[in-house]
Amino acid sequence: MKSEDLNTPNQPTWCPGCGNFGTWAAFKNAAAQENWNNDNTALVADIGCHGHIINYVHISSVEGLHGRAVPVATGIKLANSRLNVFTFIGDGGCFGEGGNHFIHACRRNHDLTIILHDNAIYGLTAGQTSPLSPLNFKSKSTPQGNLDEPFNPLALAIASGATFVARAFSSDVNQLTDLIIKANKHAGLAFIDILQPCLTFHKEYTLQYLRENVYYLEESDDKTNKQIAFNKSLEWGLKQIPLGVFYQVETPIENKSLVETPIAKRDVSELFNY
């Protein structure tokens, strides 16, 4: 398979320079390398600019209600645990409307890959402050500055029980491709925070700012130490934005008992007698 084989007749409608282009390219590259297709893979998208990605990748997919992509993906995995299931979600849907779904999916360690399109703003609805927007950030919804401290998505994922936690930069397509493949191969809840600029509405986390201030974690670092991972997740600032795998451990997954006989393969006719 080639990445071009996954293209659809639809043309992207994202703004020029949007970080979604890098995520789209990385996912197609990963799918081509791993032969993810309609027989073995399902995609779930939330509402938002990022959600259009399912219109541009020729793999079976569904778009959930705003903030509800994670439980939809969980249902798909529970019904057929043999599928590779990917959830594409924005920072607003994941930590605003869908915050409870995210922490419980992490806690239960469902065998999913959650891909966060992190531009720290509501882009589709024209630039309102999101749960990841920085303190004092000025937007259409907070013209005098954001009063709330933002969530730290990596720290929240680690604390909630996710067993694979990583961060990427949408412009580094090669690293992101590798992380998506590693996340899918991980048995348990895998979370990738993808930093991506919103050139139209977010004037602080620009492409230049991100390029100048990210650095890569060492492969030799201990990925099983939760305290070290948590401390690294708190780093943010000039030359202090780490990328790579922060935390990875092997623990029992919530739906392990369904692996041998997925719900989709079971005879459930007796249930209709009740």
The pTM for the full model equals 0.92
Taking only the tens place, the pLDDT of each residue in 165-189 is: 999 999 999 999 999 999 999 999 9
Count how many residues are written for the chain.
Answer: 274
Structure tokens at 148: 């709330």
Q: What is the pLDDT of residue 1?
A: 81
Q: What is the pLDDT of residue 220?
A: 87
Determine the number of helices (DSSP H) and then strands (DSSP E) in the chain. Answer: 8, 8
Q: What CATH fold (topology level) applies to the domain 3-273?
A: Rossmann fold (3.40.50)
Taking only the tens place, the pLDDT of each residue in 190-242 is: 999 999 999 999 888 889 999 999 999 998 889 999 999 999 999 998 889 99
What does each C-alpha distance from 51 to 28, 82, 182 come to in angstroms?
15, 24, 22
Q: What is the DSSP string of 131-168?
A: TTSPTT---SS-TT---SPPP-HHHHHHHHT-SEEEEE
Residue 258 has pLDDT above 80, yes or no: no
Contact 117, 196 (CB under 8 A): yes
Residue 260 has pLDDT above 60, yes or no: no
The whole-chain average pLDDT of the chain stands at 92
Q: What is the pLDDT of residue 196?
A: 95
At 251, the pLDDT band (50, 70, 90 cuts) reads confident
Residue 49 has pLDDT above 70, yes or no: yes
Average pLDDT over residues 4-13: 93
Q: Which residue would you say has higher pLDDT here, 254 or 181?
A: 181
Q: How far apart are CA 212 and CA 230, in angstroms?
A: 23
Residue 261 has pLDDT above 70, yes or no: no
Structure tokens at 250: 């092997």
